[in-house]
Structure 1
Amino acid sequence: MPVKVFELAKELGISNQEIVSRLDKAGVGKFAPSQELDDTTTIKAREVLAVPAETATAASGSDTIVIPVNVTVKELGEKLGVGPSEVQKVLMGMGVLAGLNQRLAPDAVQRIAKKLGKTVVIGEAPEAPVATVAAPKVAPTEKPSATSRPQSAPKSFSNKGKPTDSISRPPVVTIMGHVDHGKTSLLDFLRKAHVVDGEAGGITQHIGAYQVEIDGKRITFLDTPGHAAFSAMRKRGTSVTDIVIIVVAANDSVMPQTEEAIQVALQAKVPIIVAVNKCDLPDANPDKVLTDLTRYELVPEAFGGTVPTVNISAKTGQGIPELLEAILLVTEIEVDPKADPHAKMQGTIIEAKVDKGRGTVATVLVQQGTLRQGDNVVAGGIFGKVRGMTDERGTKLVKAGPSSPVEIIGLGGVPDAGERIEVAKDEKEARALAQRRGDRMREARFTSNGNLTLEQLYARLLSGPIKELNLVIKADVQGSVQAIRDSVEPLGNDEVRVRVLSAGVGPVSDSDVLIASADHQADAKNCMIVGFNVGMAGNATKKAEAEHVQIKIFSIIYELIDAVKDGMLALLPPIYEEAIIGKAELRQMFRLPGNRSIAGSYVLDGVIKRNSSVRVFRGKDMIHEGPIETLKRFKDDQREVATGYECGITLRGYNELQVGDIFECYEMRQIQREL
């Protein structure tokens, strides 16, 4: 009966790393822990694994190599009996570039030895001063087993020279994918909360952070929106994540936002798990999803690759246990997330908003150290004191360790989502840090908006004046403000662009109207206030009417972006192009009093319209171009005459026509402008 590698490891009471390593060394094959073995391979694996690894190690105890603490790359190569270049090659695979005299931390030595198939024991440190190479995330076979680490390994050191005590922390998992493919439904199933039905347009409007517990092990989930407008929010999510889950609907397969999410995850260089959702639907085709994934550098384990895929249904719960097992496996094998709860607290602002009763409310993901109630904190140019702290269920907390998502109150303003947050020693230091950072941010914003290179200035002079749609953005939370700004600022071309006058959290107020009206110089077309999930405050509506300022409120992000595009297009002058609409042949001339005549014609193609223009061709030569004055059928005036019908045509200011002349009728049509 087929069995998965990790199931066999559990059965035999050995670690996933050990079973993968031993099967590889014995020539059975190189497998991922979640791969399934067929009957023949399972039998062979059981035979190979019948002799415990501990026995083999004891028998070859003489092969154990003693390595000094903080050994150099060159010295390690000599001790292991390989060239220093081999050690450097392994380090490069771990993402570390090290010189021959670079000293290595014990953790890094164990990983390198494991990769080279050597058994080592860390001995005494040399007398010379040392520097530390921090070991990054490693591949599954590179992670040392718990038994290979010394009982009293020395503490590692932070970049400030202070000792750190890193311990395992919950993995941070980001969920991504195409809109409506079931990301939030999956998270909803995991945390047993109901947040999907109330979301406008089926789109998650804000990033949320939640922690769940499975068999005593915690996992922190970040839920990111699926629409392309939130690309910047997705990228923020991957900057703090350990694992990315790409959710793909089995009935849709890979869609545009799926591809974008894959690219973001690949650029972030984090492990990827694919959850093939909606497998309960009649038209589900999981195999097609696996095939389509290979076009985007993701080769599923089922095809001999390294990307775990799990068939699930977020609606029924099918496959959810297997998905959680895959997360825990990838965490153990590839990620091994660690943090020091005693280090200086650092984290990331996941979301921030203004609450009427509580002031600024920020969702924080603690990444290093411990956040405590009463701490003075700084986030960008904002500072404050943590006056209250709760988890995602609303439970009050007094402290939160690494990988904990918490909601805090007490900041003096609304920081940008994705901003780093850290603890200061007191309010004075927090204020000073916030002041310096705020000054730098304002300077950077001014420089980016105001200074042009000579090439840019020359190009602008050549292209003439550029029209601008002045925009004021208001939203309910900071993450939405940033996502909207990131989406609209790149819009435009050589003729028109967006200029964001102001962007902030909260309802549209009188001051927003004043900002808009002060800049648009009485031209109502070139300024707009857009709100996202917000209302109106004070006399903003009346003020806007008086100042001729447009205010538009939205609850769906892409409708807001479309409105901004329409506003920009309205500033552009119309462009027309000629369209041939019909041809007619002059077959008989009818003379009228006053030296006038009617051209009796037959419509050969298309339509002939009154008040349109014609070109008159005699053979290959054009003899006249001008407007049609009258168009008749029999004695009645007609607006247009179609193919296959006869008509009478007179031309304004031209009467020199002959039988056989061809009328080519055309009109000028306005082209739909695009950005």
Structure 2
Amino acid sequence: MAEIKKTEESVDKIKLLASLKEEKNLPKLFNVLREQKKRLDLIARALDDINRKKEEQALAEMLAQQREQEELLAQQESIKEQDIKADTQTVSPEKIDERQQAGEATQKQEAVAHTKEQKQAKPLKQKEQPKAKTRQEKPQETKAQIPADKPSLVDAKPSAPVAPVSISSPTKQKSHDKKDKKFEEKKSMNKRTLIRRGFIDDRFDDDDYSPRHRKPKAKKTPKKQITPIKIEKAVITTDNLTVKMLSEKIGVPAQDILKKLMILGVMTTINGVVDFDTMELVADEFGVKLEKKIEKTKEEVLSESVLEEDNPEDLVERPAIVTVMGHVDHGKTSLLDAIRKTNVIEGEAGGITQHIGAYTVNVRDKKITFIDTPGHEAFTAMRARGAKVTDIAIIVVAVDDGVMPQTAEAINHAKAANVPIIIAINKIDKPNTNPQRILEQLTAHEVLCEAWGGDSPAVEISAKTGKNIDKLLDTILDVAELHEFKANPNRKGYGTIIEAKLDKSRGPVANIIVQNGTLRVGDAIVSGVTYGHVRAMQDDKGRNIKEAGPSMPVSVLGFSEVPEAGEHIYVVEDEKLAKQVVSERITKQRTAESAVSNIVTLSDVFNKISEGKMKDLNLIIKADVQGSVEALKESLSKLSNEEVKVNTIHCGVGAVKKTDVMLAEASNAIIIGFNVRADAESKQLAESSGVDIRYYRIIYDAIDDINAAIKGMLTPKFEEIVNGQCEVRNVFKITGAGIVAGCYVTSGKILRNSNVRVLRDNTVVYDSTIGSLKRIKDDVKEVATGYECGVTISGFSDFKVGDVLESYTLEKIE
């Protein structure tokens, strides 16, 4: 191997020198060196493997020879013992020694012969078993590797001194070899065999493997049957209980209660709810008398404390709370600016109020609280939650614009809230103004001013120049003095939240108006589903105060969460009661989330009238033209009878808007739409709040439905289901097909066999059926949202870009 390595190294050096001479072969030098290194590494590994295998084979052969010698000696000793035992039984003791000596000589000869036979038999076995290569390759080397101090049995002669090897070592290893043999036998046996042969005493073993010594099974103790205590009287604290809770109350198994309920015709389960009357019947069958004692909820305790009548001696005069409403840009904020001598309008975008604020002014040593609202929507939102905050409503009308649609809506909202109205005719500083025209327009909305014999005072003002502002304030004080607004400052305070927000530095902040009592720092408060305690208060000027009396606007810090605007705020005894009230309210909200009990629909008008729950039927009429509005209003007002009165609380021209739905929700009104539709936002709000909107194209259908609802004969025949809407993007004239509207589906889907109405500015232009519906050039049954299509309508061809086609179907109601 060494010569091979030297030759390879010389050859590599020659190749290296040759490659160095040639400049072109220089890049290949590194590759050649890598390959040579790999080759040398492989040769060195192979040599190491060969040496290691030789060492292992030699060691294995040496160990095998030692093991054979030990086994041979053990066999000789066992034969010797057997012979000695046999001689002792038949021969006298004198002859024992002679026989032992003769036996030893024969045993030595036999051992030598046996070892020779074994060595001769080894090559034969190795040929039969080719896998055992260690003993076949070099038998002579293994003999040379045996230590010199241990002589081989082959060289031993009968007369040679072999006695120390054959006699001394077996006698010492006699007991040890037997123990090892027993141990190996025990190791190969399983536990059951060891027990059977007596190696293990199974009486002291935990595991029971023998079928003769199994543990006796523990006897099952019979369960004690608990006899229920006989209950003769039980107290029920709620109107309804589940069957399981009832069984616990009266001490009767639930299965027996279910059987009795089935006999009574009530099919329910163990978790089913039964009312008190049914509970009483079932309990009487089992001899138990039920007593109903409804516990007061924390909400009822709070309501009783709020509704507690004040002692007339404790009542004192309080400032009037005034709300300013009107059309956009008619001067509401400018009027408040002139009153408070501050410049609020400069900080507001576009000169239009962006938030709800409350301010207090002093007039003739008396205070007036003003609420500046963005139109009348917030006013209605607060009233829809039952919060009657406003004492007086000021309707601002610009003398140059006159009564606008939002002005009429503000008047209707104020009348629905049943608050006194003061008319402020603004911008009289402009030339060529005619205030009398405003008074004439107000009479059309059933507002009669004092100058014309009515009860609503009218004041001509100029918010820009400040003309007659003091006269307006005097009028407010006069109206307040006439109505005598009073409150008790010595009781626990409660009020209404005007605005609420989350401040980054201060946390939840609520702007409130205290309506009665006194609110102090440190009081525990609750509002809606939030609670807390007053940590700090600031007035409308930003000054920290310790307490706030009736009709005072303050900013409160200390709520756990941001409360909702329009909710009541109450002072309670402690924070524990506040938490309990909030918990009850949350539970009540979850159980009745989808139920809107106070909303009136046309279907249940007769039921509420017959039950005496309804004396007035409030309507909101919206039509496409003013003539239709007047005709509907006059015709529907004639339907009033002794039991119910039909009130038209608001009329208007145009589509049904969000403000109409809010007014209907606050006033329990029904919206009548004549040739108009509600926009998407209004539809969503009406569905969520439960407001009933009825659409008509024939005036007599509306009159007949309202009359039938009042008399209890309303049986709806069909229910309209809107499938989707598409917008006309282009109009095409195609030979053979006529006028085709190229549309884009904006919501839902358009069905080919459905009805369709053409809406132009949310006003119904035409109502018919779809003639054809195509997608590219193919006739299709439907087109989904986000796709374009071509539509023709039977009997209609006057399409305009921007029209909305609404697909709907009529389903018969059984």
TM-score w.r.t. length of structure 2: 0.38
Structure number with greater Rg is 2
TM-score by length of 1: 0.46
**Structure number with higher relative contact order (C-alpha < 8 Å, ≥ 6 residues apart):** 1
Give the helix-richer structure, 1 or 2. Answer: 2
